[in-house]
Amino acid sequence: VRNPSSDAIGAVIFDTYGTLFDTHSVISVLEAEYPGRGEYLTQIWRLKQLEYTWLRALGNDYRDFGEVTREALHYSLSTLGKVDDATRIERLADAYNQLSLFPDALPGLHALAGRRLAVLSNGSPQMLDALLHGAHIADLFEAVISVDAARTFKPDPDSYQLACDVLNLQPAQVLLVSSNGFDIQGAARFGLKTARIERFTADALRAQVAPGRSIGPAEVFRALRTQLEGFGAQPDIVVGSLPELAAEIRGM
């Protein structure tokens, strides 16, 4: 007989980029420097940034997320043929330390008051510190867990194990909240409970790529990164926005 409380949710852990903070908010900085190419650069940068996390994790060639972010930016700018100096890369990459909080994040976090809350992110400790303090939400979390301590990236099982170790909980006692399909996939496969924030529904995407509609970098990004992965795990919970989460997990 299973003890019903043994897999009760002991902590709720949040993905950061795309879940609490809007990575698209770097667009104004890029558009100002590269008029007409802000959207393109924003999407290539974010796609490449995550590709580089996977390339480095699989290749056993870890560099922290700040460096990966700068490398991905350099790649993105190079596609325009620009030869960019390190100072420019540093300055533009700093936009990642000043991302906007999604409007639903603060009410969503407040609605979970009384729960153990933590962050589990690819972000380096310095990047997470800048983001969470900049948005005045650092105090809401018991722990800010950077994968940097495990020198790997999501969805490496070691990154999810790190969160369990820090929180001293079993995988089934941890609920990971993420809008990133690959993060849901990795966390569920590892054995965490998962809650997907569906910031862009499959129906909304279908409407945007319907015959006759023009398709640009934003649509390609949404198709690649805002949907559930095509194999494997289904999230335990799906919500359209963060404030719905508290009610969904009541009693869990």
Contacts of 59 (CB under 8 A, 6+ apart): none
Can you list the alpha helix ranges (DSSP code H) found in the chain? Answer: 27-33, 38-58, 65-78, 86-93, 105-110, 125-134, 157-167, 181-190, 202-208, 217-225, 245-248
Count CB atoms within 10 A of the CB of residue 64. 19
Active site (annotated) includes residue 85: no
Say if residues 25 and 99 touch (Cβ distance below 8 Å). yes
Contacting range for ligand LAC; rule: CB under 6 A; set: 117-125, 162-170, 195-203, 209-217 = 117-125
Measured CA to CA, the distance from residue 184 to residue 178 in angstroms comes to 6
Pairing of strands 100-101, 21-22: antiparallel
Pairing of strands 193-197, 237-239: parallel
DSSP state for residue 20 in the 8-state scheme = T
Map the footprint of ligand LAC across residues 63-92, applying CB under 6 A.
Answer: none
CB nearer to ligand LAC: give 88 or 151: 151
CB nearer to ligand LAC: give 122 or 152: 122
Q: Which residue is nearest to ligand LAC (CB)?
A: 17
Based on the shown chain and the rule CB under 6 A, indicate whether residue 18 belongs to the binding site for ligand LAC: yes
Of 9, 12, 15, 131, the residue at the interface with ligand LAC (CB under 6 A) is 15
CB nearer to ligand LAC: give 149 or 252: 149
Contacting range for ligand LAC; rule: CB under 6 A; set: 13-21, 105-113, 164-172, 231-239 = 13-21
Count CB atoms within 10 A of the CB of residue 160. 26
Contacting range for ligand LAC; rule: CB under 6 A; set: 15-23, 29-37, 79-87, 164-172 = 15-23
Task: Catalytic residue, from 15, 64, 148, 156: name it.
Answer: 15
Determine what percent of the chain falls in helix, strand and coil, rounding each to the nearest 5.
Answer: 50, 10, 35
Which tokens hold the place of 179? 């809008």
Q: CB 118 → ligand LAC: shortest distance, Å?
A: 12
The neighbouring-strand residues paired with 120 are: 145
Q: Residues 170-209: x/- map of binding to ligand LAC (CB under 6 A)?
A: ----------x--x--------------------------
Q: CB 65 → ligand LAC: shortest distance, Å?
A: 8
The alpha carbons of the chain give a radius of gyration, in whole angstroms, of 18
Q: CB 1 → ligand LAC: shortest distance, Å?
A: 37
Q: Residues 118-157: x/- map of binding to ligand LAC (CB under 6 A)?
A: ---xxx------------------------------x---
Binding site for ligand LAC (CB under 6 A): 15-18, 121-123, 154, 180, 183
Q: Which residues are catalytic?
A: 15
